[in-house]
Structure 1
Amino acid sequence: MTAVAAPHAAVAAPPAVEVRNVTRAYTVNSERVLALRGVSLTVPEGAFIGLMGRSGSGKTTLLNMIGGLDQPTEGEVVLFGQPLSGLNQEQLTLLRRTKIGFIFQSFALLPILSAWENVEMPLRIAGVLSSKERRRRAEEALALVGLEKWANHRPAEMSGGQQQRVAIARALVSRPRLLLADEPTGELDSTTGRNLLTLLREIVRTEKVTLVMATHDRTVHEFADKVYRISDGQFVD
């Protein structure tokens, strides 16, 4: 007997991220080097996923593939049901601006700008919203990370942990569906790093975003829904 779906059965939403048998090869001094070797990964919406490995393991390359910053030599990356290979550069840029927030190890804050001005910058670059609305959104994002009282302070007046929180607020200001974090605790002490992971987990739950984080910090096991170990460009048990 053939199963028939109920008339109003809900259609399952696609995963936030699908990495399908992705290989990335580079040529170094006339030699072919594999940064990724047939990697596959499925990330459900609303999940906190860790990619753990040493420097050079391939985790940052994989993040770049997911974020559309680099292209696979072989395989496919799909975000929210959309294959990235089908997008031109203009469409990829729009996708990154509207659906993806990036968090970097080095904070990448502009020293001459205040916290709220740094957070507002993605909206200003995108040319969206009025200046008043951009500031309101920036202050909302700073409140999410507990820094609303630091809105007018510059990076030099903040601790490393506070600067990383500003960087997280900047990633959130466009209200993305996906956060990609590359070693966000790499320049923080263990206590500050743990506090940051607690904050990220809370943001995933309250803001209904998906987080994929590359790290070598074993503490991620306590916070992520699942952690994948990567070595020599492939997942290992």
Structure 2
Amino acid sequence: MEFLTTPQGRRIAYEKTEGQGPTVIFCSGLKSDMEGTKAVFLEAWAKSKGLSYIRFDYSGHGQSSGSFAEGAIGDWHEDTLAVVDQLTEGPIVVVGSSMGGWQALLLARAIPDRIVGMVTIAAAPDFTEDGYWASFTDAQKAELAEKGFVAMPSDYDEDYIISKRLIEEGRDRLVLRSPLRLDFPVRFLQGTNDTAVPTQTAVRLLNHVEGDDIRLTLVKGADHRFSDPDCLVLIEKSVEKVLSRSKG
């Protein structure tokens, strides 16, 4: 494991596999890290193919500096940009899981000329607004205003601490409210039994983005983890497909 320091002074943990071709960068989900099943699986795949690959931890996640409760979508976007700027040259393929799918789309908006392919898994764009804020009761909204945070139960971990900053800063990072063109091969993957990100979100994303090579694959019965053997193979094949069709 190695570390880089972002322009904002955050210390980001990462693992880089040297290799050929466009660098594949894996962006993890909220409160996930680079030791997750999908991130490690893709690293083994990249090594077997001799490809360049990076997995990393956002600030407040995994081995990186900072507190999760103090972070926000924009912070993690800055972390992702720092990884691209400091660790890569030339074209990249971005793979984003859940919140990492939102990060992938933010990356496409920030540096479209660097990206030659994208794969998302249960992408969760704009979830701070359309998921958390939209589902909050009046009492939760009042608690957020008064205390500065709300505790949300999680199926996968201890309660998520959802801060006022996460909600408010997220409004500056929304990607489904304005045109978003993706001029490279894109594969969106989504399970129909995902209780964290509904299938409608995947369809909304597909309908919203513009581009000439964009597909959504729905896997009946797959959940939000999307990590069983068949799903992992589908992720691998999807990354291979965008690499084969890319101009990188």
Q: TM-score, normalised by structure 1?
A: 0.30
Larger-Rg structure: 1
Q: TM-score, normalised by structure 2?
A: 0.29
With a CA cutoff of 8 Å and minimum separation of 6, indicate the structure with the bigger relative contact order.
Answer: 1
